[in-house]
Chains A and B, each alone.
Chain A
Amino acid sequence: MNTMTEAQLSELEQDLNAIRDEVVADLGERDARYIRRIVRLHRTLEVGGRAMMPFGFIPPVFVAATVALGLSKIIENMEIGHNVMHGQYDWMNDPSLHSQSYEWDTVCTGDSWRRTHNYEHHTYTNIIGKDRDYGYALLRLSNDDEWKPRHSLQFINYILLSVFFQWGVGLHELESERIRRGEIRLRDKLPFLMDFFRKGGRQAFKDYLFFPLITFPVAPIVLAGNVSANLIRNLWSSTVIFCGHFTQDAETFTGAECDGESKGHWYLRQLTGSSNFTGGKWVHLLSGHLSYQVEHHVFPDLPAHRYPEISAQVQAVCQKHGIPYNTGSFARQYGTVLKRIFAFSLPDRVRSKVPALSMGQAT
């Protein structure tokens, strides 16, 4: 798909660097105030949700407590945890907001996430075989993977992955598909598994044991509320993340075309491999501004609340270089994600006969 010359790529690199430099030069109190406000919002929601939960025998209180706790987990994972771990706020020199020591409220350990997401996914974005986030080694989302009969039921896998998303993300680094293929041994993954069980155990202990038990007479209510809050977070974050790279027009790449690539080519890959969705202020906040996935992938370590501000500039650069800028309403983008999951669950010869199921893919 790359028809740009090295000179054009180098110009693209300069154009995007200019946007980045402008933001970096302007980082300061406004950004610090923003993230502190979000952290306060998270603490308020979590403390409020947990305090209300024991009174969940009153139905409206149960709903309020569950929604508050669910929102608190969503905000902590998406707008605080994910973004802090990208180093977006390292310049603040605040140990509580530092990329390398932050530990978030989900099963996946911060260290594992920093390896699989920050490094692998953001470096090898949408390169089939190298970016294990592409389909999570569970779903077939492009014709680079050969169709196998088990793919015909992958919609079920998708639903299970969404429901248990935090556990799936937590186990991502296990690389179970490579163990199955005999490329690595389970033994090699023991240190990872130890960390996984420690962190997973901690998360389960907190939500499913400790908080229910200290409110013993209403333990089932607290347990139900905590399970629901985790479920809300799982469904929302998996949906947001699927909209980031698996929409209809998001492109995929082969390892060969990215070998020894320039920064300009890396930028191009981020621009064409990612997709945005539109929405109100709250949609952006709750998605951790991954609704601006394109901007996020081009500038993963700029504070995310800046993405809406630079979006117009990024679009102008895309237009100048004739690069598509993939955006649409949440419903439209998510619809194409579902379509992609369905389309590639079919054998290619079946899929190719249905024009409505054509998808952006590696060439």
Chain B
Amino acid sequence: MLARHNQSKALQWLGKQLFNREDPAAFFDPLLERINPMWVQEYTPARVEQVLQETSDTRTFVLKPARRWQGFEAGQHVNICVEVDGTRRNRTFSLSSSPILWQKQGLITLTIKRLPGGRVTNWLHDHLDVGSVLGLGEAFGDFTVPEPAAPVLFIAGGSGITPVLSQLETMAAQDYRAPVTLLYYVRTSEDVIAREKLEALTARHPALTLTIIATHDGTAPRYLSDADLGTVPGLNARQVFLCGPKGLMDLAGELLQSRGVRERDIHCTFFSVPQANIEDQPLGGQVRFAQSDLEVGSEGDANLLEIAEAAGLTPRYGCRMGICHQCSCRKTSGTVINRLTGQKSGPGEENVQLCISVPQGPVSIDV
């Protein structure tokens, strides 16, 4: 998934004959990795150049990707892959730096908050030091600066500020003409990520209005309200960008709708991990079979193989008891529970055995 190949057809054919694989260059990776981890071909390697502590639980990792990485637009995300206890984990994060930094110095930044119980974010904080190398995918996403310039409202919560940082910096650099307002919600004033940078941007870029709201500094919580939206001049002419926890996103969606903001002017992105609480969550969920473009619901402890077959699909299978791995497939998103071990998968992309995987919530499978 993180690989990119653009060798000529003839070379690729020869590579397949000689090394029995679609990505022949990766045949040498185990040796190259030993000599210089930045020479790995299977994914785009990126080396950690610097680690900055933003708040008590948030760090910014300054990365130098291998030169073949293709760059990004402000507001886009990337998949990264790291090996945690022997298992490769893929996760998506927003780029928090501006593309100008990449163009000038070949550097990008990821600003990552520790999630309670999060396998990858905690690992990144505990193990990713200067000199470590991780795998980087190409950038994607359409949470990008409007062109031509239009009035913008950003509503960000917590670490949802990261793509907004990239956008604000880009807007300041290109002297964005239209008014820009940022409503930034944090738990306490201790939790403001990149406060200095935000203040510097406000000072430099007169079109930008910055409001930071701490939701839990007072005795009663102070969430996003209709009055907050009332402070934004010309709200209905604005492109609205939402990024933050699900609660904030839902609330903002409702309030904007009641103020008559059109749905096509609202752009969302959020990453929240499902709560690690097996007992409280029922089994079953909406299962999407990507290759067949089919979506079916399931209830109870039906496994993915049964669900697929009930939907008329015929995935490859063998023993139907978790032994032969004939039915192993790529899960692209969602959580499944391994019927044999009772263990929960991560939300990211990974291989699962259909016959022993029970969906928990929406799951997408490459079948």
Output the nearest chain A residue to B328 by Cβ-Cβ distance: A100
Q: From the candidates B20, B26, B29, name the one contacting A103 in the complex (CB within 8 A).
A: B20
Q: A103, B21: Cβ atoms under 8 Å?
A: yes
Q: From the candidates A33, A43, A119, A263, name the one contacting B31 in the complex (CB within 8 A).
A: A43
Q: Mark B41-82, 1 if CB is under 8 A from A, else 0.
A: 010000000000000000000000000000000000000000
Contacts of A96 in B (CB 8 A): 21, 26, 29, 42
Output the nearest chain B residue to A89 by Cβ-Cβ distance: B86
Expressed in whole angstroms, the minimum distance between the Cβ of A125 and any Cβ of chain B is 11
Q: From the candidates A27, A31, A98, name the one contacting B351 in the complex (CB within 8 A).
A: A98
For the complex, is A352 an interface residue (Cβ under 8 Å from B)? no
For the complex, is B12 an interface residue (Cβ under 8 Å from A)? no
Q: B326, A93: Cβ atoms under 8 Å?
A: no
User: In chain A between 169 and 192, which residues have their CB closer than 8 angstroms to a CB of chain B?
Assistant: none
In whole angstroms, how far apart are the Cα atoms of A86 and B319 in the complex?
Answer: 12
In whole angstroms, how far apart are the Cα atoms of A300 and B42 in the complex?
Answer: 28
Output the nearest chain B residue to A211 by Cβ-Cβ distance: B18
User: In chain B between 163 and 205, which residues have their CB closer than 8 angstroms to a CB of chain A?
Assistant: none
Contacts across chains A and B counted by CB atoms under 8 Å: 104
Q: A32-B83, A104-B20 are in contact. Are A92 and B326 (CB under 8 A)?
A: no
In whole angstroms, how far apart are the Cα atoms of A60 and B128 in the complex?
Answer: 47
In whole angstroms, how far apart are the Cα atoms of A202 and B17 in the complex?
Answer: 5
Expressed in whole angstroms, the minimum distance between the Cβ of B283 and any Cβ of chain A is 21
Q: A27-B86, A122-B323, A123-B319 are in contact. Are A98 and B328 (CB under 8 A)?
A: yes
Q: Mark B336-353, 1 if CB is under 8 A from A, else 0.
A: 000001000000011101
For the complex, is B268 an interface residue (Cβ under 8 Å from A)? no
Q: A92-B86, A93-B88 are in contact. Are A202 and B20 (CB under 8 A)?
A: yes
Q: From the candidates B20, B28, B341, name the one contacting A43 in the complex (CB within 8 A).
A: B28
For the complex, is B292 an interface residue (Cβ under 8 Å from A)? no
Q: From the candidates A27, A92, A122, A210, name the one contacting B324 in the complex (CB within 8 A).
A: A122
Expressed in whole angstroms, the minimum distance between the Cβ of B197 and any Cβ of chain A is 35
In whole angstroms, how far apart are the Cα atoms of A31 and B83 in the complex?
Answer: 13
Contacts of B351 in A (CB 8 A): 90, 93, 98-100
For the complex, is A146 an interface residue (Cβ under 8 Å from B)? no
For the complex, is A39 an interface residue (Cβ under 8 Å from B)? yes
In whole angstroms, how far apart are the Cα atoms of A88 and B210 in the complex?
Answer: 53
For the complex, is B27 an interface residue (Cβ under 8 Å from A)? yes
Output the nearest chain B residue to A30 by Cβ-Cβ distance: B86
Q: A94-B88, A205-B17 are in contact. Are A43 and B30 (CB under 8 A)?
A: yes
Q: B28, A263: Cβ atoms under 8 Å?
A: no
Expressed in whole angstroms, the minimum distance between the Cβ of A204 and any Cβ of chain B is 10
Output the nearest chain B residue to A76 by Cβ-Cβ distance: B20
For the complex, is A332 an interface residue (Cβ under 8 Å from B)? no
Q: Mark B7-21, 1 if CB is under 8 A from A, else 0.
A: 000000000111011
Q: A87-B325, A90-B351, A105-B20 are in contact. Are A40 and B88 (CB under 8 A)?
A: no
For the complex, is B34 an interface residue (Cβ under 8 Å from A)? yes
Contacts of B326 in A (CB 8 A): 114-115, 118-119
Q: B319, A31: Cβ atoms under 8 Å?
A: no
Expressed in whole angstroms, the minimum distance between the Cβ of A122 and any Cβ of chain B is 6
For the complex, is A24 an interface residue (Cβ under 8 Å from B)? yes
Expressed in whole angstroms, the minimum distance between the Cβ of B87 and any Cβ of chain A is 5
Q: From the candidates B16, B18, B31, B328, name the one contacting A90 in the complex (CB within 8 A).
A: B328
User: In chain B between 79 and 104, which residues have their CB closer than 8 angstroms to a CB of chain A?
Assistant: 83, 85-90
Q: Mark A93-112, 1 if CB is under 8 A from B, else 0.
A: 11110111001110000000
Contacts of A263 in B (CB 8 A): 321
Q: From the candidates B17, B42, B350, B353, name the one contacting A93 in the complex (CB within 8 A).
A: B350
For the complex, is B282 an interface residue (Cβ under 8 Å from A)? no
For the complex, is B318 an interface residue (Cβ under 8 Å from A)? yes
Q: A114-B326, A123-B318 are in contact. Are A33 and B86 (CB under 8 A)?
A: yes
For the complex, is A206 an interface residue (Cβ under 8 Å from B)? yes
Q: From the candidates A93, A114, A206, name the one contacting B87 in the complex (CB within 8 A).
A: A93
Contacts of A119 in B (CB 8 A): 318-319, 324, 326
Q: B86, A32: Cβ atoms under 8 Å?
A: yes
Contacts of A103 in B (CB 8 A): 20-21
Q: B26, A301: Cβ atoms under 8 Å?
A: no
Q: B31, A123: Cβ atoms under 8 Å?
A: no
Q: B87, A43: Cβ atoms under 8 Å?
A: no
Q: A24-B341, A87-B353 are in contact. Are A301 and B325 (CB under 8 A)?
A: yes
Contacts of A98 in B (CB 8 A): 328, 351
Q: A210, B18: Cβ atoms under 8 Å?
A: yes
Output the nearest chain B residue to A202 by Cβ-Cβ distance: B17
Contacts of B1 in A (CB 8 A): 95
Contacts of A300 in B (CB 8 A): 323-324
In whole angstroms, how far apart are the Cα atoms of A87 and B86 in the complex?
Answer: 15
Expressed in whole angstroms, the minimum distance between the Cβ of B131 and any Cβ of chain A is 19
Q: B325, A86: Cβ atoms under 8 Å?
A: yes
Contacts of A27 in B (CB 8 A): 86
Q: A28, B328: Cβ atoms under 8 Å?
A: no
User: In chain B between 301 and 353, which residues have their CB closer than 8 angstroms to a CB of chain A?
Assistant: 318-319, 321-326, 328-329, 341, 349-351, 353
Q: A103-B21, A123-B318 are in contact. Are A92 and B87 (CB under 8 A)?
A: yes
Contacts of B85 in A (CB 8 A): 28-29, 32
The 5 closest A-B pairs by CB, nearest first: A87-B325, A32-B86, A119-B318, A28-B85, A93-B88
Could you give 17 example pairs across A and B, Cβ below 8 Å?
A: A28-B86, A32-B87, A43-B30, A44-B31, A86-B324, A90-B351, A90-B353, A93-B90, A93-B349, A95-B42, A96-B21, A100-B325, A115-B326, A118-B318, A263-B321, A300-B323, A300-B324
Chain B residues with CB under 8 Å of chain A are 1, 16-18, 20-21, 26-31, 34, 42, 83, 85-90, 318-319, 321-326, 328-329, 341, 349-351, 353
Q: 7 new A-B pairs (CB below 8 Å) besides A93-B87, A96-B26?
A: A40-B31, A90-B353, A92-B88, A93-B351, A114-B324, A118-B326, A206-B18
